Chains A and B, each alone.
Chain A
């Protein structure tokens, strides 16, 4: 059974942390511009501590991403099959994209 094809939780975690750190930096920068003396310790204030992810939440996120990719390919495959072609091309992807983005 080939169920081993899924995303790596560490990779997903790394991407999440990158986005969260970026947002935390932006928030710090924005707050710094507003009030220079009000913030006592920039990194220590409650709002600016970075977010963490639970291990099960990461596994679930990997599953969500896997379903995203699988759905995209599966829907495009259905269109390709209906046309009788043996290769999934750009036109197939284009047609399923709007509904895919609405569903996710």
Chain B
């Protein structure tokens, strides 16, 4: 039983860390939920928003477990984007929307890498960039 003494201290620390994370998560979720409700010209009752927050937190824990299992299954030690997209397999729309977000991220990365590697060709790339600097 004495070996458990040190173990339970670590567990108590873990508990307070979890509580802190859960609180921060709750605040973020509530702000996202309220913004979404406002888009429909509705209000969301606070206990319900907190309920959604706790549900999302449980979902995050489950997601962590799933992602770890997928990576292990592929004999990897690190999670990549394919694992996240795979975890959305239950709903086609969800998977599609994640895949397009993924493509956006990759193309943004490719763009910033191109800018870093070829600084002299900035003028040539002007036509493809979204931000226009008007030539008055």
Contact = CB atoms under 8 A, between A and B. Distances in A.
A68 B87 CA distance: 13
For chain B, which range describes its interface: under 10, 10 to 19, 20 to 34, or 35 or more residues?
35 or more
A77 B42 contact: yes
A24 to B, nearest CB: 9
Given A57-B84, A81-B40, A52 B21 contact: no
Contact of B102 (A22, A56, A104): A56
A2 B42 CA distance: 17
A3 B44 CA distance: 19
B28 interface: yes
Contact of B40 (A19, A20, A74, A90): A74
A51 B78 contact: yes
Contacts of B60: 12, 15-16, 65
Interface of A is mostly: helix
Interface of B is mostly: helix
Interface string B78-91: 11110111011011
Interface residues of A, number: 50
Contact of A64 (B41, B47, B71, B98): B98
Interface of B: 14, 17-18, 21, 24-25, 28-29, 31-33, 35-37, 40-45, 47-48, 51-53, 55-57, 59-61, 63-65, 67-68, 71-72, 77-81, 83-85, 87-88, 90-91, 94, 97-98, 101-102, 105-106, 109
Interface of A: 2, 5-8, 11-12, 14-16, 18-20, 22-23, 49, 51-54, 56-57, 59-61, 63-70, 72-74, 76-77, 80-81, 86-90, 92-93, 102-104
